[in-house]
Amino acid sequence: MDRSELIKLQSERLVKLVENVYNNVPPYRKKMDDAGVRPEDIKGVEDITKLPFTYKTDLRDNYPFGLFAVPMDKINRIHASSGTTGKQTVVGYTSEDLDVWTDCISRGLVSCGIEPGDMVHVAYGYGLFTGGLGVHDGATKLGCSVVPASSGNTARQVTLIEDFKPDAICCTPSYALFLGEELHKKGHTADDISLKVGIFGAEPWSEAMRTELEKSLGIKACDIYGLSEIMGPGVACECEERKGMHLQEDHFLVEVIDPETGEHVKEGESGELVFTTLTKQGLPLIRYRTKDISRVIYDKCACGRTTARILKPSGRSDDMLIIRGVNVFPSQVETVLMEFSETSPYYMIYVDRQNNHDTMEVKVEMNEAFFSDKISDINSLEARLKARLNSIIGLSIGVTLVEPGSLPRFEGKSKHVVDNRKI
């Protein structure tokens, strides 16, 4: 589709979307009323900046289903991802939304060179996380033999790869590196590993990691981007050229803004990605602030696709960490620590990558009243903290109690996270 045709389609869809949210989603009606904008003011994509932004906090404030635009009996699937507090960000899909999602993933798999009949090993987590089921449905529709391995149990994953000989693998890039290492430990080389393509996303990764992955697994490593609020994986995906991820522009309108001012940056410049869902029915979102920093380019790709391309996100404008594909906000850790009367408000979070495996450790000071050199007391408190963090965040996080006054103090803004990963 050439750009003028695409813009016409996007404009028609935007007009319908705005009318829909104004009439069916009370919090959106209020936002638009507060901003003094009425549905009839929006005639096409050129009017997008008249509309207010949507933030992750809007989803939280309307938890769980307050932003859904259809009655619950039309919601066919629910997923969720971490929010800034203990509360999950909940997303809902109608059956048409699931069809669109499936199509977007299928397009992405095809653009990376996967064909009907290929065997696809899916090692993204299945469950509330969108990675597993999202990729699963897309690969199924394409006519692939899907291996729903889900995440974890590395020994079993290795056996499945050895025995089933899949053509493609979909998982986080850090997990793929780890799997590569385990395969090599068992005597395999890039040449005898069956995989030809890897589709990696859900966390930032660099060109250096791409080279490493391609060498280790003997594959073409492609990048896939997405976020639960907008759809899940497949909002954009690379093609075999691997020069940016093709955005599914018939379903998503992208803007790139200066995160401070909210104004558009110049075309091709770096800024925060903002998406509007053009066809979503369950949870349509207008100008959703992703906090992901990247660039969007519009020149035609050598593969022939005419869609805009999102370059590898270079970071985030907030403090969200992605640990083994799980989104973690330092504030979630802090909330847990504050529940315990034995600890003080001084803590540090250390993130590292060992053997291609993300690790997270929390050091927290005991308070003077609890401070004890009785090892059994300390061990038991550490175990309780660890269990609570695990249940809230869903990750195994190391906990070490340290003496009162031993962690750094900061003048001005405190710094709670040391991320030593070299991604």
252 forms part of the interface with ligand DLL (CB under 6 A): no
Strand intervals (E) in 123-244: 145-147, 168-171, 197-201, 220-227, 232-237
Q: Which residue is nearest to ligand DLL (CB)?
A: 201
Q: Six-digit token pair at 175?
A: 């997990």
Choices 17-25, 36-44, 124-132, 381-389 (CB under 6 A): range interacting with ligand DLL: 124-132
Q: Which residue in the set 203, 249, 255, 358 belongs to the binding site for ligand DLL (CB under 6 A)?
A: 203
Nearer of residues 90 and 378 to ligand DLL, judged by Cβ:
90
- Positive/negative CA dihedral, 27, 30, 31, 32: positive
Contact status, residue 332 vs residue 393, Cβ threshold 8 Å: yes
Choices 137-145, 179-187, 228-236, 355-363 (CB under 6 A): range interacting with ligand DLL: 228-236
At 37, give phi and psi (nearest 5°): -120, 135
Nearest alpha carbon to residue 150 among 174, 171, 130, 125: 125
201 forms part of the interface with ligand DLL (CB under 6 A): yes
124 forms part of the interface with ligand DLL (CB under 6 A): yes
In the shown chain, the binding pattern of residues 59 to 88 toward ligand DLL, with x for contact by CB under 6 A and - for none, equals ----------------------x-------
Q: Which residue in the set 226, 282, 284, 330 belongs to the binding site for ligand DLL (CB under 6 A)?
A: 226
Choices 43-51, 202-210, 247-255, 394-402 (CB under 6 A): range interacting with ligand DLL: 202-210
Q: Which residue in the set 130, 150, 216, 276 belongs to the binding site for ligand DLL (CB under 6 A)?
A: 130
Distances (CA, A) of 71 to 67, 99, 119, 359, 373: 11, 18, 37, 41, 58
Contact status, residue 312 vs residue 223, Cβ threshold 8 Å: yes
Minimum separation from the CB atom of position 107 to ligand DLL (A) = 14
Count of residues in contact with ligand DLL, rule CB under 6 A: 22
Choices 14-22, 196-204, 258-266, 362-370 (CB under 6 A): range interacting with ligand DLL: 196-204
Minimum separation from the CB atom of position 233 to ligand DLL (A) = 3
224 forms part of the interface with ligand DLL (CB under 6 A): yes
Q: Give dist(CA 224, CA 3) in Å, integer.
A: 23
DSSP letter, residue 52: P
Contact status, residue 133 vs residue 105, Cβ threshold 8 Å: no
Contact status, residue 135 vs residue 233, Cβ threshold 8 Å: yes
Q: Which residue in the set 106, 276, 277, 290 belongs to the binding site for ligand DLL (CB under 6 A)?
A: 290
Q: Which residue in the set 92, 233, 244, 282 belongs to the binding site for ligand DLL (CB under 6 A)?
A: 233
365 DSSP β-pair partners: 402
358 forms part of the interface with ligand DLL (CB under 6 A): no
Contact status, residue 154 vs residue 108, Cβ threshold 8 Å: no
Count of CA atoms in the C-beta half-sphere (13 A) of 184: 13
Q: Which residues bind ligand DLL (CB under 6 A)?
A: 81, 124, 130-131, 201-204, 223-228, 232-233, 290, 292, 313, 316, 322, 327
